[in-house]
Structure 1
Amino acid sequence: MTSYPRTLAAAVAAVALSAGATFAQTPLDGRWSATLTINDTPIPFRLDLATANGQLVGTLFNGEETQTTTRATRQGDAVELEFGHYLTTIRASVADGGLTGRVEQRNGQPGGSPFRAVRYVAPPELSGSVPSIAGTWHIPFEPGKESPKGEKAWRFIVKQQGAEVSAAVLRIDGDTGALTGRFVNGTAVVSHFDGSRPGLMELTPQADGTLRIQSRGSNRDGHYIAYRPEVARAKGLPEPADASAHTTMRDPNEVFAFNFPDVNGRLVSNEDPRFKGKVVIAIVTGTWCPNCHDEAQYLVQLYKQYRDRGLEIVALDFEEPEQQDELTRVKAFTKKYGVEYTYLIAGAPIEMWEKVPQAVNLNTWPATFFVGRDGRVKRIHAGFAAAASGEFNTALKREFTETIEQLLREPAPTSAAQGK
């Protein structure tokens, strides 16, 4: 009689151990090769999962830069990875050692896009040499055509280490993020998803020295031909737009004015004491805009570096009407990036021209206004070329810091002269 409970207890323990062993066979930690399918195009991307202090964390990659989850959970075989600052959620189930589910994006397909992930396996080493496509290229539009922003050409920046390739299109708004991949059979296949702006490109060098680009899985699908800049100039092809000359002021002598509520509903204007006599960076921005995410992370650094010397930053944020009540994404955005500068809710994107009427040809997200101590705009920079843009990101940072340094050296106007 006494042996029966012991046997039963042993059997229960064995079942528990077996169940535990089964659960342990499907851990999530590690690197995954994931795909997001848009318009029947599977877009590969890297997904890392890790558990720290009992908390699951998901990481997506934009070249060497990363985006981590604002919330991540696992309940049994159900996994949920939330990137609240993008309003993007990956919902998946663990099955057969992989993950299957959907990616839901605020501006994505209704019901989300198919998602799959398997354990990462390093690709085999390629034998032989691969073409060299590193450097800057120009992508001109066909004669008589231009982008919706009035551009006649884009830049295309490629970084390469052997067969490994990273590439980005740089438009007047900013870049596409770093699409990464490698050469296979003479074509480099690169792709990207960091919670937003998914896309895939096939890059094939041509015998005439040009680069054929096939873009898939984004709103800019199609074929493009890229030329080395010196070749494009020799052919008389159009140049990419100048980000420092794209947007101008209607009247350079007019004080840059704004008056919008902050996230708590309190009105803040350029007349607020925090801005008087200060150098101000005013940004036309929106948390739905990936390039605005890129810029915000840099502005956080600038604010820490220069605020004690007299710099203020104010975001004039334009959100979709359905986002303006709860400001869900705005709050996740400012928390995620540690935004400490003034953040104002200016209206909906379609209202930008009405709410910022002093600017001419204002059509980029973001647009950065450098305002001197006298309240007048000294420089406007269209878009934001992030780290994926290589030397153009370096040049942008140099332009921003030199402009700030120059404006900070200017004396503050007297109270009688300021605002006239």
Structure 2
Amino acid sequence: MNIKNLIYSILTFFVLLTVACQTTNTTLNRGIWRGALIHETGAEVPFNFELKDSLGKWQMFIMNGQEQFKVDDISRENDSIFIKMPLYDSEIKGIITDNKIEGYWVKHLADKDVKMDFVAQYGVNWRFKDQLEPATQNITGKWATIFTNLEGKDTTLAIGNFKQEGNLVSGSFLTPTGDYRYLDGVLDGDELSLSTFDGGFAFLFTAKVSGETLSEGKFYSGFSSQELFTAKKDENATLPDAYSLTYLKPGFEKVDFAFPDMNKKPVSLKDEEFKNKVVILQLLGSWCPNCMDETAFLSNYIRQNNFDDVKVLGLAYERTADFDKSKANLQKVINRFQVPYPFLITGYTNKKGEPAKSLPMLNAVMAFPTMIVIDKQGKVRNIHTGFNGPGTGKYYEDFVKEFETLISTLRKE
């Protein structure tokens, strides 16, 4: 071996030795992180979360506006981390390396798994950008909004309802069948960016703001869905009446069914326990974020009031007709919200047409959730399609007042 090759071999040895002696930092740090899910288009759907260590047990708090979504099923194996969401049958799997987590978010659907790339950086408390240009507009207020698909069809009317303080923006979009929950974002100069991730759904909205107009709007949803939107500021913007969309067919006054509870015991409104009671039927699915908001509301209402003449029944339409799988997903909902009322497993899925088959006296089941309020004589008095959760501010507060007034009136009859 000549001297040149010898020197090269020695240098190579020391380089390899140095690399071998280096250790990767797999410490999982407590504190604020910035996470991002990567949409099929390459767009980032960002969110912030905090990791805490409570008596040796890791907890994650996903932050969207005023909401902090708690996740406490977190485990580690060497440099790997597994974060199972308490709802929606989804999880994050990643590798911890030098204050970063890289991996993917997987959502288990009825017939397949789908996933998005996931990255997170420790110690980053901004959501969209570290340095923002001063906001040149203010979008506080109501916005009449039109969503369309990429082909310009399938129009959906909505209302944007926002609050802005400096660069920071919060609020939500409301549609005739529900809302997009807590949205958190910024106005960077004239560029609006809003996002949310709740463990089951990932949304990103971007648009240009000019005076009282939102243009070039793009809505990224989940793994690959994309829509366009435009909006104009309009404090008088309204949506179709949520009490008019679903109704009884002519000739019907009552709802009738027999579905099994979680223990496979058949339950019907003809059962003795529902006679001379105000009954609230909740049509829901464990996969539905607006349903979770409504479940939280109904659970709190029953716990706070504990009326002996008011009953709530949840009619579940899962993404599978498999009883045991449906039961497992619904049990997570019960545990999450400490639900004080029973869920019935209808055996029908949420596929178009199936829910209406289960309750043929209805014109349609247009959205989840749908709430049916029945008086003490067993007659349907009110059907509310969709649910506007606490992220919608005044819309949620108005619904709560309407609901409480109705139940109070029916109890006195």
State the TM-score, normalized to the length of structure 2.
0.85
**What is the rounded CA distance, in whole Å, between the counterparts of 1:260 and 1:241 in structure 2?**
31
The corresponding residue for 2:339 is 339
For 1:373, the aligned partner's letter is: K
Matches within 5 A, 1:167-182: 167-182=171-186
Match of 1:54 among 44, 53, 56: 56
Cα gap change, 1:74/1:153 in structure 2, threshold over 3 Å: closer, same or farther?
Answer: same
Match of 1:131 among 137, 151, 157: 137
Cα gap change, 1:344/1:383 in structure 2, threshold over 3 Å: closer, same or farther?
Answer: same
**Unpaired stretches in structure 2, ≥5 consecutive residues:** 1-22
Shift of 1:394: 1.0
**What is the rounded CA distance, in whole Å, between the counterparts of 2:374 and 2:158 in structure 1?**
28
Shift of 1:267: 0.6
The corresponding residue for 2:67 is 65
Matched residue SS, 2:298? helix
Shift of 1:224: 1.3
**357-366 vs 104-113, which deviates more?**
104-113
Match of 2:231 among 207, 226, 229: 226
Shift of 1:84: 3.5
Matches within 5 A, 1:183-202: 183-202=187-206
**365-374 vs 22-31, which deviates more?**
22-31
RMSD across aligned C-alpha pairs, in angstroms?
2.6
| Residues 50 and 57, structure 1, Cα contact 8 Å, conserved in 2 | yes
Aligned length: 378
The corresponding residue for 1:311 is 310
| Residues 173 and 291, structure 1, Cα contact 8 Å, conserved in 2 | no
| Residues 260 and 267, structure 1, Cα contact 8 Å, conserved in 2 | yes
For 1:306, the aligned partner's letter is: N
Cα gap change, 1:342/1:251 in structure 2, threshold over 3 Å: closer, same or farther?
Answer: farther
Matches within 5 A, 1:76-115: 76-107=78-109, 110=113, 112-115=115-118
Deviations 1:277-310 (A, max 9, x none): 1111001111111111111011101111333341
For 1:228, the aligned partner's letter is: K
The corresponding residue for 2:406 is 403
State the TM-score, normalized to the length of structure 1.
0.83
**Unpaired stretches in structure 1, ≥5 consecutive residues:** 1-21, 233-238, 411-420
| Residues 41 and 217, structure 1, Cα contact 8 Å, conserved in 2 | no
**What is the rounded CA distance, in whole Å, between the counterparts of 1:152 and 1:72 in structure 2?**
38
The corresponding residue for 1:276 is 275
**What is the rounded CA distance, in whole Å, between the counterparts of 2:395 and 2:109 in structure 1?**
28
Residue 33 (1) aligns with residue 34 (2): yes
**What is the rounded CA distance, in whole Å, between the counterparts of 2:288 and 2:134 in structure 1?**
41
Shift of 1:110: 4.1
For 1:307, the aligned partner's letter is: N
Matched residue SS, 2:273? coil
Shift of 1:98: 0.8
| Residues 152 and 241, structure 1, Cα contact 8 Å, conserved in 2 | no
Matched residue SS, 1:190? strand
Match of 1:361 among 339, 360, 364: 364
Deviations 1:227-282 (A, max 9, x none): 123587xxxxxx52211211111247622222100011111110122211111100
